[in-house]
Amino acid sequence: MISTSFPQSLTIARLQLHYAIQPIAAVGAALAVPQPDGSQASLYWDAQLQSFVGNLIQAQQAFRVGLDPVKLVLRVLDGQGGTVASVPMTIAVPYPLNLDQFLKLPYIEDSPAWEFINGEAIQKPMPGGKHSRLQLRLATVINASGSRYEAFPELRCTFGGRSIVPDLSVVSSNRIPVDQNGDISSAGIEFAPEWVIEILSPDQSQTKVTRKILHSLRHGSHLGWLIDPEERVVLLYRPNSLPEEWDGDALLPCLPEIDLELTVEQMLAWLKVRGQ
The pLDDT value recorded for residue 94 is 53
The pLDDT value recorded for residue 195 is 98
Domain boundaries, the chain: 7-88, 92-269
Pick the CATH number of 92-269 from 3.30.1330.10, 3.90.1570.10, 3.30.465.10, 3.10.129.10: 3.90.1570.10
Report the distance separating Cα 252 and Cα 234, nearest Å.
8
Contact 223, 258 (CB under 8 A): no
Q: Which amino acid, one-letter code, is at 171?
A: V
Q: 3-class SS at 159?
A: strand
Residue 57 has pLDDT above 50, yes or no: yes
pLDDT tier at 9, thresholds 50, 70, 90? low
Report the distance separating Cα 212 and Cα 201, nearest Å.
15
- For residue 120, which of 48, 16, 32, 47 has the smallest C-alpha distance? 16
Contact 107, 9 (CB under 8 A): yes
Mean pLDDT comparison of 8-17, 57-66, 150-159, highest-scoring range: 150-159
Q: What is the pTM of this model?
A: 0.69
Q: 3-class SS at 183?
A: coil
Enumerate the H helices of 104-230 as residue ranges. 129-143, 206-218
Report the distance separating Cα 272 and Cα 137, nearest Å.
12
Tell me: the pLDDT tens digits for 119-139? 888 889 888 899 999 999 999
Residue 240 has pLDDT above 80, yes or no: yes
